[in-house]
Structure 1
């Protein structure tokens, strides 16, 4: 008697050949989501906002690694989150005169430059509306970051750095609030609190700098979406490397005060340390600029471009270069989920 098992296998194979190849199953996006509680309306008082400190470049690569050239100096001791938290309780509220002096020192005297490591943006345009400051809390400490509104299906998406949304494998941000068009304390378009937050899985699991991107769907304001108030920059994925790029943000450490929109501009380059797939931009902006938008194909006359990265980290032995993650397939998956929230 012929065994039945081989016949069953042959029958199954024949059925498979007759029905054609199995349908391809789309991979599940590696994204971690969090439902956020809106910040209480009374939380961000002017005094609390003034005392909030830059979240620091929490994703700073703490060890530069083996350098075969011997050209770069040994790495300096980087800031850490603990340092920032300790300073948060001692940082005084800036006086108005100090703010005015810092703003005057930062103000450029010429038209927007195609190459600059740090100038105040006075040219107006869409970027002054879509870029804003983020105020958030982590572990009971109040911090500031930068971010940008982007065009999205739900008209509510804000793009920033992952460490401005979640501290790597640590806690999610609380009291997360976006203020588009912020300028010298003014809030011309109101405030928008987080309702859902998204970060890539590699950032949530291990603080992977290649994935230091966060996206937040914000609440509407009086029935109006964020895009109704300020519009949004186009977001792009898999851009050609080495593009001319403009990076914007609100640096809040000396010599800046966080009250004005500043920018860097130049051609981005690969990571010379070889530790990330990120690209670098010569940029003197300090902590507080984290999460600010990097725009390629940028038109200074209109203030519009394509968002292809955000300010993420600086190596401890090179404070003159800001690095931003490459917006590839993982960032595209992140955005697709955020714009459906």
Structure 2
């Protein structure tokens, strides 16, 4: 999760409703125009290299993307930007300590334990991590994450793999390499924080597809605001270490500051970016409908997480991914 001083950009309004399958619909935000998604394809050689690259030690030592950006800012290099505004990333440990934890390690079991996982990739020569989630899809191979977890500062990440059920350097369900990574046109064009959503289509492993092995969560688009939500992730910045699936839950609200995103009380740190937000989540089965991802937080609100609204634009991204 990245920490912003400000964020800008307004979601378009009014559009068509979507129905069918395990994807549920509500009120629409806007029908997308132009390309449905921006995409990057990894060659067979690149996929092979990515699978060999991520040893247990490299996974354990990968730095949350958020902290890599913080280090760059600390060295007085160019700061990351959101719609032309400066941003910071990851709250300080002191700031975290001053607020109660909104969640904790997930011990409830269920499907979320296997559908959620850590995402590992190389960003500008450095090993980095985020979180992702396996979702229902036609190709049975689609992962949803944050846009900045597939592409950032003009570059597509390389050596991209998804490790569902990550366990301290172990990959109990295998490492799934991305054949293709995708993001919204708005994130591709200007890193618009309102559309910070990414997807990956992963290659079958040992002859099996991802969701045939780990299961899948449904999605909900245009579901409205102010809903009870559960957020999951693998935060790896202090006080967390990336070894446990962490969750937060509570009533969400619409961001009243600079974005059109959902907000939720949560103090997850760097590495949780891209983790799923669920509406209608059932604790007993560990299932729900994914309606957002961990995206960013404001530096002056260190106990609150924000995630993009899953409207028509994200639906178009999902459709492009699931049919790739």
TM-score by shorter chain over 0.5: yes
Going from structure 1 to structure 2, the CA distance change for 1:162 and 1:33 (only over 3 Å counts) comes to: same
1:166 paired residue among 130, 144, 151: 151
Residue 54 (structure 1) aligns with: 64
Report what 2:168 is aligned to: 184
User: 1:116 and 1:244 mapped to 2: Cα distance?
Assistant: 17
How much has 1:131 moved relative to structure 2?
Answer: 0.2
Deviation digits for residues 225-261 of structure 1, max 9, x if unmatched?
A: 0011011000110012111000000000111100010
- Greater CA radius of gyration, 1 or 2? 1
Distance (whole Å) between structure 2 residues aligned to residue 48 and residue 126 of structure 1? 27
Tell me, in whole angstroms, the C-alpha distance in 2 between the residues paired with 1:220 and 1:148.
Answer: 16
Cα pair 1:60 1:316 within 8 Å, conserved = no
Partner of residue 317 from structure 1, selected from 293, 300, 305: 300
Counterpart pick for 2:112 among 127, 135, 138: 127
Number of the residue aligned with 2:273: 290
Give the structure with the larger strand fraction. 2
Q: Runs ≥4 in structure 1, deviation > 4 angstroms?
A: 57-63
SS at match of 1:119: strand
Query: What TM-score, normalized by structure 1, do the two folds share?
Result: 0.75
Q: 3-state SS of the aligned residue for 1:38?
A: helix
Which structure 2 residue ranges, 5 or more long, are not aligned?
A: 1-31, 70-78, 91-99
Question: Is residue 248 from structure 1 mapped to residue 253 from structure 2 by the alignment?
Answer: no
Whose RCO is larger (CA < 8 A, sep 6+)?
2
Give unmatched runs, 5+ long, in structure 1. 1-25, 66-74, 81-114
Q: Is the 8 A contact 2:163 2:174 kept in 1?
A: yes
Structure 2 Cα separation of the partners of residues 238 and 53 of structure 1: 34
CA distance in 2, matches of 1:260, 1:45: 19
Using the alignment, how far apart are the partners of 2:36 and 2:141 within structure 1? 21
Among candidates 152, 159, 174, match of residue 175 of structure 1: 159
1:146-157 to structure 2, matched below 5 A, reads 146-157=131-142
Q: Are the counterparts in 2 of residues 62 and 78 from structure 1 also a CA contact under 8 Å?
A: no
Deviation at residue 78 of structure 1 after TM alignment = 2.1
SS in 2 for 1:291: coil
- Distance verdict in 2 for CA 1:139–1:287, change over 3 Å: same
Q: Could you report, residue by residue, the CA deviation over 1:128-156 in whole angstroms, capped at 9, with x for unpaired residues?
A: 00000001001111101000000000000
Aligned residues between the structures: 270
RMSD after superposition: 2.4
| TM-score normalised by length of structure 2 | 0.79
Task: Report the counterpart of residue 33 of structure 1 in structure 2.
Answer: 39
SS in 2 for 1:153: coil
SS of the aligned residue for 1:135 comes to strand
**Partner SS, residue 300 of structure 2:** coil
* Preserved contact between residue 312 and residue 325 of structure 1 (Cα < 8 Å): yes
Does the 8 A contact of 1:120 with 1:261 survive in 2?
Answer: yes
Q: Secondary structure at the match of 2:113?
A: helix
- Matched with 1:276 is 259
